[in-house]
Amino acid sequence: MNNTYIRVSLPAVCFVWQIAMVILFGVFIRYDEESDEKGWNEFKRSHNITSNIENDFYFRYPSFQDVHVMIFVGFGFLMTFLKRYSFGGVGFNFLIAAFGLQWALLMQGWFHSLNPATGKITIGIESLINADFCCAGSLIAYGALLGKVSPVQTMVLTLFGVTLFAVEEYIILDLLHCRDAGGSMVIHTFGGYYGLAISWVLYRPNLNLSKRLHGSVYHSDVFAMIGTLFLWMFWPSFNSAITNHGAGQHRTVINTYLSLASCVLTTFAISSMGQKKGKLDMVHVQNASLAAGVAMGTSAEFMITPYGSIIVGFCCGIISTFGYLYVTPFLEKRLKLQDTCGIHNLHAVPGMLGGFVGAIVAAAATEDIYGKEGLVETFGLTGKFQNRTMSTQGAYQAAGTCVAIAFGLVGGVCVGFILRFPLWGDAADDFCFDDEAYWEVRLH
């Protein structure tokens, strides 16, 4: 039986890494010109801005808070569905995200906003959104491992997850110059395959010893619906949080909203068809209804049209629910891949799909639809990218998706082997999915 004693390792990891954060933030992180008291006054003068409402804060803060809710309540409560692992679901989600966002500010800062003159990273509201996004990658991966890893392992997978994320994001967004505002590629595809690869390496042949706890109970399914609904409702904010001001954010919201609505209907349809008596399954409603948000991450800011969005949602509900019905059991039996939350069906496949949908919609973009100015702005075709044609852009978008898959798989296998060292305090096969391992539990 493994030893779940973490009284030394967890505090050590938390303290050492948090002290490292203090030092690194002290050396590198400063306010940007829109949050610095002096900087903003100078910015207003130099940009001839007369009203404080022009501060980026007012364009992005409502979306930021929605994203924040998705990360902590959305992901957190979605993972409370197990009958005796609700503490671990919502609690370790909290821990991962709280650490991950700090590390993300540094990693993303080094790659994207390090001022070479001063050696400082400046942060503002958009940085906070990106940090939350970056955590999402590791939280998705945690979904595959829910109930099978120790809190120390979650910290390790987050440390590497955020690091890998920042690198692949730099490659995809900066080098390949893809557009991926809602992160179909950089967040969901990467996070999904990262988690699946780790889970594959950490395969537990005797996991059925914990079978009694590997499922939901009536009230835990209702708790999980809190997570589902906050994710579902706020996904338009997720996809639009960092898109272009004005029509860009506006359109992204409309597209995501429509796609998600459509996805719900096909999810209910397939869920009912998949059971002998036509009964619906909460697992599908909780998860597959969200797949459309994932799949619209890249293309929601494009002119995909309202009906295009609905078609994407339509397909995602079908594919994702099929995944829960048939693919997850298949993966477990044949590929020895244990995926607690079914992130394969909610993040990996819809994310990949979203990457390719984005490639197609980008390739189909014309000046006629976007206007000359709009096309340049939407795809950021300035500087050295100004001569890129739209079909080239589409090809790069597709390549970006492949990069995300590759990073997820290779990174996940490596991290998986690190997590197999017998020093992280993970539970024995017959003690998985049980909060008793890491929490003081009061059942009566």
415-443 burial string, b = 16+ CB within 10 Å, else e? bbeebeeeebbbbebbbbbbbebbeeeee
| Beta carbon nearer to a copy of itself, 2 or 305 | 305
16-47 burial string, b = 16+ CB within 10 Å, else e? eeeeebeebbeebbbebbbbeeeebeebbeee
| Beta carbon nearer to a copy of itself, 63 or 189 | 63
| Beta carbon nearer to a copy of itself, 5 or 417 | 5
We find the least distance from the C-beta atom of residue 417 to a copy of itself, in angstroms, to be 25
CA 231 to chain centre: 11
| Beta carbon nearer to a copy of itself, 103 or 407 | 103
We find the least distance from the C-beta atom of residue 431 to a copy of itself, in angstroms, to be 13
| Beta carbon nearer to a copy of itself, 7 or 333 | 7
| Beta carbon nearer to a copy of itself, 67 or 337 | 67
We find the least distance from the C-beta atom of residue 196 to a copy of itself, in angstroms, to be 25
We find the least distance from the C-beta atom of residue 393 to a copy of itself, in angstroms, to be 15
We find the least distance from the C-beta atom of residue 404 to a copy of itself, in angstroms, to be 26
| Beta carbon nearer to a copy of itself, 265 or 406 | 265
We find the least distance from the C-beta atom of residue 436 to a copy of itself, in angstroms, to be 8
383 CB burial (10 A radius; 0-12, 13-18, 19+): exposed
Which single residue is written with the structure tokens 């993300």?
104
Q: Which amino acid is at 183?
A: G
Helix, strand or coil, per DSSP, at residue 433: coil
Q: Which residues contact 148 (CB under 8 A, 6 or more apart)?
A: 199, 202, 204, 207, 338, 340, 426, 427, 432, 433
The DSSP H or E segment spanning 303 is: none
| Beta carbon nearer to a copy of itself, 266 or 401 | 266
We find the least distance from the C-beta atom of residue 141 to a copy of itself, in angstroms, to be 19
Residues composing the chain: 444
We find the least distance from the C-beta atom of residue 2 to a copy of itself, in angstroms, to be 14
Q: Which residues contact 159 (CB under 8 A, 6 or more apart)?
A: 17, 99, 103
We find the least distance from the C-beta atom of residue 428 to a copy of itself, in angstroms, to be 15
Three-state SS for 102-161 is HHHHHHHHHHHCEECCCCEEEECHHHHHHHHHHHHHHHHHHHHHCCCCCHHHHHHHHHHH
| Beta carbon nearer to a copy of itself, 48 or 205 | 48
Of 369, 250, 357, residue with least CA distance to 314: 357
- The string of DSSP codes covering 359-387 is HHHHHT--HHHH-HHHHHHHHT--GGGTT
